[in-house]
Amino acid sequence: MAGGVFAGVIGPQLVTHTMNLWAPYLFAATFVGQAVVAALSAVILAGVELPPLTATHLHAGRPLAVIARQPRFILAVICGVVSYLLMNFLMTAAPLAMKLCGLPQESANLGLQWHVIAMYAPSFWTGLLITRFGASAIVAVGLVLIAASSSVGLLGIDVLHFWASLSLLGIGWNFGFIGASAMILECHRPGEKARVQSLNDFVVFGTMTVGSFLSGGLLSSFGWSTVLMLSFAPLVAALLALIGFSYRPAARPS
């Protein structure tokens, strides 16, 4: 969690201080710097030893299809998909939109800095909030914050509009995605963990990739306001699913 906060500061500052070093090729030096950082990370992670998966982790418990049909699991996947999809969808378009609106690149970098900090800084308290109020309530707050992010973005194209929108988007993602991940924990037994969480990650990150590719094309073709307005449809769908499934009792697997 602390690493995510540090990355929110280091990453944008790395861009700001390297983007013009290899003139006239904007960002060329930035990509070189990013490659160096990635290589250093790989060296550090090479020393991490993870316990190998056993046959119990891979095959124990109920069939995956049975687990995936649980209403609570379906709800968790929907909320996780919408939270991560919209975070990446809007975050990818926002700095490009700032550039199209004539704002300086340094302002876009700072906007992303506050966005990433907002994504990870609340994690120190999100778990406590989930314990206190329940995962569903925290997910609902996260979805509402993402809606607030899009609403603020529609109010104007000044720097502060973009910064406020990106900050709300980061906090909304934190509550929505972490809350949805906590809901996944209610849907599997210990021996089913690896398979269930792998399925969830595959669906969430696969959908996020699609949203990332769509973002730039929609921005260039229809503009920033359209990108923002499109975000409300999946948000409404997720909130309706959350309300509907909340009336079902959550049966925690034994």
111: exposed, middle or buried (C-beta count within 10 Å: 0-12, 13-18, 19+)? buried
> In 121-192, which ranges are continuous DSSP H helix?
123-133, 135-155, 159-185
Per-residue pLDDT tens digits for 169-195: 999 999 999 999 999 998 888 888 888
**Which is more confident, 92 or 7?**
92
Q: What is the CATH number of the domain that holds 180?
A: 1.20.1250.20
One-letter amino acid at 93 equals A
What secondary structure does DSSP assign to 51-114, as a single string? Answer: PPPPHHHHH-SS-HHHHHT-HHHHHHHHHHHHHHHHHHHHHHHHHHHHHHTT--HHHHHHHHHH
Residue 10 domain-assigned (yes or no): no
Residue 1 domain-assigned (yes or no): no
Across 138-150, average pLDDT: 97
Q: SS3 breakdown of the chain: % helix, strand, coil, rounded to 5?
A: 80, 0, 20
The pLDDT of residue 79 is above 90: yes
Residue 237 pLDDT: 95
59: exposed, middle or buried (C-beta count within 10 Å: 0-12, 13-18, 19+)? exposed
Which has the minimum average pLDDT: 2-11, 206-215, 243-252?
A: 243-252
Q: What is the pLDDT of the chain when averaged over all its residues?
A: 89
Residue 165 domain-assigned (yes or no): yes
pTM here? Answer: 0.86
Across 5-14, average pLDDT: 78
Which has the minimum average pLDDT: 6-10, 202-206, 220-224?
A: 6-10
Residue 3 domain-assigned (yes or no): no
- Which structural domain range is residue 86 located in? 51-246
The pLDDT of residue 59 is above 90: no
Which has the minimum average pLDDT: 59-68, 101-110, 236-245?
A: 59-68
Which has the minimum average pLDDT: 15-29, 53-67, 158-172?
A: 53-67
Residue 185 domain-assigned (yes or no): yes
Residue 13 domain-assigned (yes or no): no
Across 81-89, average pLDDT: 95
Residue 1 pLDDT: 65
Contacts of 32 (CB under 8 A, 6+ apart): 18, 22
Q: What is the CA radius of gyration of the chain?
A: 20
Q: How many domains does the chain fold into?
A: 1
Residues of the chain with pLDDT > 90: what percent?
Answer: 61
Across 54-80, average pLDDT: 83
The pLDDT of residue 253 is above 70: no
Residue 9 domain-assigned (yes or no): no
